[in-house]
Amino acid sequence: MRKWITVAVAAVLVGVPSATAMAKGAGDGELRESLDALVRAGVTGAVVRVDDGQRVRTVASGVASLESRRPVGGADSFRIASVTKSFVSTVMLQLVGEGRVRLSDSVERWLPGVVPGGRGITVRQLLNHTSGLYDYSEDQGWLAIAMADPSRSWAARELVAAATAHPPVSEPGAQWKYNNTNYILAGLIAETVAKRPLARLVAERITGPLRLRDTFLATDPRVGPNHIHGYLRSPEGEYTDTTSWSPTMQGAAGAMVSTPADVSRFYRALLSGELLDQRQLQEMLTTVRVEERHGGYGLGIYYIDTQCGRVWGHAGDFPGHHTIAYQDRSGRRSAVLEVATDVDQEPGSLFDNTVTTMVCQMMGKRH
C-alpha cells in the first residue's frame, strides 16, 4: 500500500524450488543468485524479466502458492499495484489529446462538491502528485477498517471521503508528495469524462489494442489459476495469503493485474508513442524534481538516475505484492521484477541488490 518503497522483514523459507532461467546465457547466473537469495530470506516467490534490446531473459524462483507448491512461472500473473498509475495517466492523457478534458481543468469542474478546495486543484496536479491532498491510505481509521475486513469492497468515493476528512497537507502545487488519493480522483474524472467504468476504459484503450490478454484493472479479488500469491509474514514466521484481499483498497491507484511480458509491452508502446501523440507524451514526461529519489515524477511515470543510467517507469506495492518496472527512454530495454511476500527494500537490501542487477543488465552494463 505504500509508495515507492515498502519495508518489512523476512526470514528463511525452506523447500522451495530454486530459480530457473527461461533463456540461458551470460548474466542469468547473477539473476538466479539474486532471486534465490530472496527466497532463502523468506520470499515465497519471485520472477524477473530483462530485455537488453537484444534478447530477453526471464528467471523465476520459489512457489506461486504455499498451498499448491507450484513453482513460479515466468508468465504468471501478479498484482502490479501502483504501476497501475501509468495506465490510468495514459487513459487521461488520451482523453486530453481528444480535447475532452484539459490538464488545467479543476477537480471541481468534473467532480463538483467532492473535494473541498477542488477549484484550486488541477488534473495535472493529481497526476503528478502536487495536489496537496491527504493520502487516504494513511488514515488510521480507514486502515483499521480495511485490515479488519480485507475482503470488503470499497467505492472510490469512500476512499476520497477518508482523505477529505483531513485537511490538505499543503497548498496545491506547493510541493510534491506521493498520494494515492490523487489517482482515485483521476479515475473518477476519467469515468465522468468518458462515461464509462475505468476498467472498461483501460481495456478499450490500452490492453485490448495492445493484446495484453493477461492484464486488467481488477474490481474484485478473482484471479486466474496461473497467479502468484502474495503473502504477509508475521514476526513469528506465519504467512498470511493476501491474494483474496480486495483490490478496491487501491482502485485506480493500484488495482491492476498483469505479467512481466505485458508490463514491458505496455511501457514500450507508451514510450515509443504508440499510445500517446508526442505532445501528450511530452506532458507525461515533464517531471517535478524529487530530490530524495534522485529523479523526477511526471504524470504517472517517474525517472531515477541509477549507477547504470537513467531509467523510466514505476513501482508498485500491495500487501504481499511488490513490482518494479523500469525501461530506458525508448522503451526498447526493459526490466520487470515481481516479488511475493513483504521484504526489506532499503538500500543495500537483497531486494535493492536484485533491482540494481536487473537494471544494469537491462542497460548492458556491469555493476
In a domain, 270, yes or no: yes
In a domain, 16, yes or no: no
Q: Which amino acid is at 220?
A: D
Q: Which domain holds residue 128?
A: 27-363
How many structural domains does the chain have? 1
pLDDT digits (tens, 9 = 90+) for 59-84: 999 999 999 999 999 999 999 999 99
pLDDT of residue 345: 87
pLDDT of residue 347: 83
* Angstrom distance (rounded) from CA 292 to CA 173: 18
CATH of the domain at 308: 3.40.710.10
In a domain, 138, yes or no: yes
In a domain, 250, yes or no: yes
pLDDT at 27 over 80: no
In a domain, 88, yes or no: yes
24-38, 103-117, 162-176, 230-244: lowest mean pLDDT where? 24-38
pLDDT of residue 346: 87
Residue with cell 516479488: 339
In a domain, 13, yes or no: no
* Angstrom distance (rounded) from CA 286 to CA 299: 7
In a domain, 252, yes or no: yes
Asked if residues 367 and 360 have their Cβ atoms less than 8 Å apart, the reply is: yes
pLDDT at 12 over 70: no
pLDDT digits (tens, 9 = 90+) for 101-148: 999 999 999 999 999 999 999 999 999 999 999 999 999 999 999 999
Element holding 61 (H helix, E strand): strand 56-62
Asked if residues 20 and 60 have their Cβ atoms less than 8 Å apart, the reply is: yes
More confident residue, 243 or 1: 243
* Angstrom distance (rounded) from CA 343 to CA 166: 30
Q: Point out the residues that are catalytic.
A: 82
